[in-house]
Chains A and B, each alone.
Chain A
C-alpha cells in the first residue's frame, strides 16, 4: 500500500523524488520555490518601531528541507507567515512558485502546520483531514479516498472516526500534517510543529517526517528552536538572529544524506554541523539583555 502511494508521488514529478531534489540542490535549474530579496517587515509598537525582519535574502530550491532556527524574536515565524501570506512585508520582494504570496495562497500552493494541531474539535479526524478538500469543493468520494491515503501516510489508520480529544498530542499533530498534505500542495510550511511535544515523541515524529519528505518529495520549510531537530531534518539550515530579525548563516547539511536515522546524531558530521549552528546562534546573540 505504501509503495503505491510513493509511486504516485514520484509520477507527479516525472522522476524519483530523491533525484529531483538532489538535482535541484546542486544546480537550481528549475526556478526557486521561494525567492526572497531584501525583505523587511517593520511594525510600530508602543516603544518605537520593531524590526521583525530586516533585509532578508533567500532562495529555496524545489524538494529541499529548510529549517529556520534562532532565538525567539528573530523573525523565523514571521518569515514563514510572510511566505504563507499571513503577514504583509513592509519592503522587499518575495515570490512563491514564481508568483506573489497572495496568489500562491489563493491557488493553494502550500499546506501550513501550526504550533498547535488546531484540529476542529467538533470534527472527527477523518473530517478534519477532509476540511481543506471540502473548502476546495472536492467531491465526497474523492475526499474520502484522499483522506484515507493521508491517514495511512501518517500512521493514523483506525483513528478516522475518533474526535481530536481522544488522541494524544503527537497523534493530533500527525493528523494536522495529514490535513496539510491532503490536497497535495507543492510546499509544506511548518511552524514549530513539535515544540509542545516531549522529546521522545518529538524524535519519533522527526523520523516519520523525514520518511514522509522522502516519500512525497515536497519542499518543506520548518521553523524550530531545537538545534538537533534542525540538523537532523534539514538539507539546509537557516540561522537567524533578533533585533533586527535577519539571516546570519545558511548551513548546508546535505552531506548527512537523505536516508537518516536517529543514530546519525552521534556522528562527527552531525556534531560538526550542530556546532556551526550553535556558533551562529551565539554570534548573532546580543548579550546586552
Chain B
C-alpha cells in the first residue's frame, strides 16, 4: 500500500474515533487534571502546617510522612478531594436525616427558602417584564431602578432586609426568600423583556391586519415567542436564588441551612466542613438547573421547536 492510499484511508477512521471520544473522553481528562492540580495545591498549602505539627511534637519525620500528613489533616488549609468526599458521605449517610449534623437537613432548609425565593423572583421578574414591554413610561422609569438594584452588594442589603422584616415580626424562611428573590428576578426580567420584544415586524404586522387586541397579541404572539428567552433567564436565576438563600443565612446567625453550616465551619476552623457545604450547594444548584432544563425540554417539545 502506498502512503497516499494510507492517507486517503485514514480520515474516516479518525473521525469515527473522535466522535466516540467526543463526550466522555475530554470531560474525564479535564476532571482528572483538576483533581491532580488540587492534590498538588493541597500538598503545598498544608506542608508548613504538617512540619510545624511534627516539630511541636518533637518527632522525627520523613518526607513521605509529611506528604501523607498533608492529605490527612483534621483542619487543613486546603482539604484534599477525598477528605471532602468522606465528609459528604459521613454527614449525608452516616447521620440520621433529622439530626442537625446531617448535611441534607441543612440543604433542605436552604432549598426551601431558595424555592420560595425563586418562585417570588420569577413572578416579580415576569410581571415587571410584562409591564415594561407594555407601558412605555415604565420602561424609562423602572429600568434604571432595576439595574441599580443589582449594583448594590447583596451582603450590604441582606442584614437590612432581615432587620426590617424582623422588626415587623417576620422571621425565618421568608426574609431569606426575599433576599433570594431580590437577586434572581433580574435575569428573568431582562431575558423576558427581550423575549417579549422578539417577534419581528412581520409577525406583529400580521396581528395588526387581524385587528387583534393587546391581550390577544400578548397571549398568542409575545408570550409564546418569549418562552425560550425566559428559560435562559430562569436557568441563571435558579442558581442565583440559591446563592441568595445562602447569603441570607449568613448575617442572621441562622441555626440551620448551608449558609449556617459555612459560618459555623469558619468559626471553628472546620475547613473540611466548609468545603463539604460548598460542594453540597454546588450539587444542589446543578440539580435545580437540571430540573429547569428538563422543564424547558418538555415545553420545547410541545411547542415543536426544531431539535438542534
Interface residues of A (CB under 8 A from B): 84-86, 105-106, 108, 110-112, 114-116, 118, 120-124, 131-132, 134-136, 163, 165
Given A108-B210, A131-B220, A135-B210, A124 and B205 contact (CB-CB distance below 8 Å)? no
Given A106-B211, A108-B211, A135-B216, A122 and B304 contact (CB-CB distance below 8 Å)? yes
Least Cβ–Cβ distance between B91 and chain A, in angstroms: 46
How many residue pairs at the A-B interface have CB separations less than 8 Å? 56
Contacting residue for B220 out of A112, A121, A124, A134, CB 8 A: A134
A120 to chain B: which residues have CB within 8 Å? Answer: 203, 220-221, 224-225
Please classify how large the interface on chain B is, using the bins under 10, 10 to 19, 20 to 34, 35 or more. 20 to 34
Least Cβ–Cβ distance between A126 and chain B, in angstroms: 12
Most buried by B among A105, A115, A135, A136: A135
Given A106-B211, A135-B212, A163-B304, A122 and B206 contact (CB-CB distance below 8 Å)? no
B207 to chain A: which residues have CB within 8 Å? Answer: 135
Beta-carbon nearest neighbor of B205 in chain A: A86
Judge whether B202 is part of the interface by a CB distance below 8 angstroms. Answer: yes
A85 CA / B205 CA spacing, docked (Å): 10
Whether A118 contacts B202 by the Cβ 8 Å rule is: yes
A124 to chain B: which residues have CB within 8 Å? Answer: 304
Whether B306 contacts A165 by the Cβ 8 Å rule is: yes
Contacting residue for B206 out of A85, A118, A123, A165, CB 8 A: A118
Interface residues of B (CB under 8 A from A): 200, 202-203, 205-212, 216, 220-221, 224-225, 227, 303-306
Beta-carbon nearest neighbor of B303 in chain A: A122
Whether B210 contacts A114 by the Cβ 8 Å rule is: no
In addition to A118-B202, A121-B303, A134-B220, 14 A-B residue pairs with Cβ atoms within 8 Å of each other are A85-B208, A86-B209, A105-B209, A105-B211, A106-B211, A108-B211, A114-B202, A115-B202, A118-B206, A120-B203, A120-B220, A121-B304, A121-B305, A131-B210
Least Cβ–Cβ distance between B206 and chain A, in angstroms: 5
A114 CA / B210 CA spacing, docked (Å): 13
A110 CA / B206 CA spacing, docked (Å): 11
A121 CA / B224 CA spacing, docked (Å): 9
B227 to chain A: which residues have CB within 8 Å? Answer: 122
Beta-carbon nearest neighbor of B228 in chain A: A122
Least Cβ–Cβ distance between A37 and chain B, in angstroms: 24
Given A84-B209, A110-B209, A135-B210, A116 and B202 contact (CB-CB distance below 8 Å)? yes
A86 to chain B: which residues have CB within 8 Å? Answer: 205, 208-209
Least Cβ–Cβ distance between A176 and chain B, in angstroms: 9
B220 to chain A: which residues have CB within 8 Å? Answer: 120, 131, 134-135
